[in-house]
């Protein structure tokens, strides 16, 4: 599994929502495939970088390997190909 650098741009633009009684219609979500394919990073001696490797969401018992593919999985963020067996 290819990893995901914590500081890499997310391939999906985040949507911020605030306030009460919000109705959303005709929402378009854009995917930045260049960010999704950016797996390389230069890390120089003495510098630290975080690498995301696994995640667990909501009340799930399962954990999943975390990389850019998770943004495009169904269900979202839970790529069955990278499910970690307990």
Between 10-14, 57-61, 76-80, the lowest mean confidence (pLDDT) is in 10-14
Q: What is the pLDDT of residues 14-60, one digit of tens each?
A: 556 666 665 555 555 555 555 545 567 788 999 988 888 899 988 89
pLDDT score, position 35:
52
Q: What are phi and psi of 53, to 5 degrees?
A: -125, -30
Residue pair 31/12 in contact by the 8 Å Cβ criterion = yes
Q: Is the pLDDT of residue 63 over 90?
A: yes
Compute how many other C-beta atoms are within 10 angstroms of the C-beta atom of residue 68.
22
Query: Mean per-residue pLDDT for 60-79?
Result: 89
Q: Is the pLDDT of residue 13 over 70?
A: no
């Amino acid at each position: 599994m290819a990893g995901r650098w914590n500081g890499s741009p997310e391939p999906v633009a985040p949507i911020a929502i605030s306030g009460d009684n919000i109705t959303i219609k005709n929402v378009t979500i854009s995917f930045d495939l260049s960010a999704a394919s950016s797996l390389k990073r230069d890390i120089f001696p003495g510098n630290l970088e975080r690498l995301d490797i696994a995640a667990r969401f909501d009340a799930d018992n399962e954990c999943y390997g975390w990389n850019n593919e998770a943004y495009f999985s169904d269900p979202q963020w839970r790529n069955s190909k990278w499910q970690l067996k307990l």
